[in-house]
Amino acid sequence: MRGVILDCDSLGPDDLDFSALYDLPVSWTVYGNCPASEVVERIGDAEIVMTNKTVVDAATLSQAPNLKLITLPATGTNVVDLVAASEQGVVVCNAVNYGTASVVQHVWALILALTTNLQSYSRGVMDGSWGESEMFCLLQYPVRELEGKTLGIVGAGDLGRGVAKIAQAFGMQVIFAALPERNHLDDLPRLALHELLPRVDILSLHCPLTPQTKGLISSAELALMKTSALLINTARGPLIDEPALKQALVKGEIAGAGLDVLSAEPPVGGNLLIDNAVPNLIITPHSAWIAAESRQRLMGQMVENISAFLEGKALRRVN
């Protein structure tokens, strides 16, 4: 069976063990990256395709008659046309819960950096301000304790619950958002988003990007938040209306934001949020998931997906 990996470099392969993948009865062709113009040629006679961020759309699928399985080393499935895949009899599988520990600690790195004004105080040391101080410490940047504050979470999967667990250790109250047209079968404390936003000191997003959640946080939602509140997004960039967020930060309508995702990645040609004039904003380059342990678990799930498929089963199927 012939398999193709379209964008192996996006997995950071240098520190991963691929032996279990290569031990499968699959003849692999591995590409570091794949321009859109070359996808059709590269998967033309493949039966198995692994793609992380390289798009496989309906037109591409129609020119891959031998394709039987697409396995995604990611939870998001937006790079594949799932309807077209189903119509063509192509099984699509993804990965789940592989990066929980990595993402949760990244969320808290952002929260802690913002609440302690870590970057500002570090700069105060490096630029000589501390050395010139008449006192033993610097005090000019506000620091807030987390104990007693309220964390709002949108999305109650493993990531949202993992973030909530750490919040409770800090002595925070946790409330989850109840989104419209969602059936919640758990007993978690929930409020409708418009009721939740005025109450939270920190809002952290952990929901998937869907037509219903695109632009979930825009001007109206930001206006409901406290001026002292923080917004954290390690999910998907388009959940937030970026121009609205920039305006809210510049005008002081919220106190800060920590983002690991943007509307377009990488931000070729820039992004309006990548601007030193925007205060109290930390942006990291979609790196919350990249702990070595997380990526190795991801590869393990890819092996499991393919092994199950070869045995006539479907593991983590999404279509």
Catalytic residue positions? Answer: 236, 265, 286
Burial of 150 per CB tally in 10 Å (0-12, 13-18, 19+):
middle
> How far is the C-alpha of 207 from the C-alpha of 210, rounded, in Å?
9
Residue 56 near residue 83, CB atoms below 8 Å: no
Strand order in the sheet with 256-259: 190-192, 173-178, 150-154, 202-205, 230-233, 256-259, 281-283
Distance CA 107, CA 73 (A): 21
DSSP label at 33?
Answer: -
**DSSP classification of residue 65:** T
Q: Are 114 and 230 in contact (CB under 8 A)?
A: yes
User: How many Cβ atoms from other residues are within 10 Å of residue 288's Cβ?
Assistant: 22
Query: Residue type at 271?
Result: N
Q: How many CB atoms lie within 10 A of CB 177?
A: 26
**Cis peptide before 266, with omega less than 30 degrees from 0?**
yes
Residues 6 or more apart from 269 whose CB is under 8 A from it?
none
Read off the amino acid at residue 262.
Answer: L
Name the helix (H) or strand (E) containing 152. strand 150-154
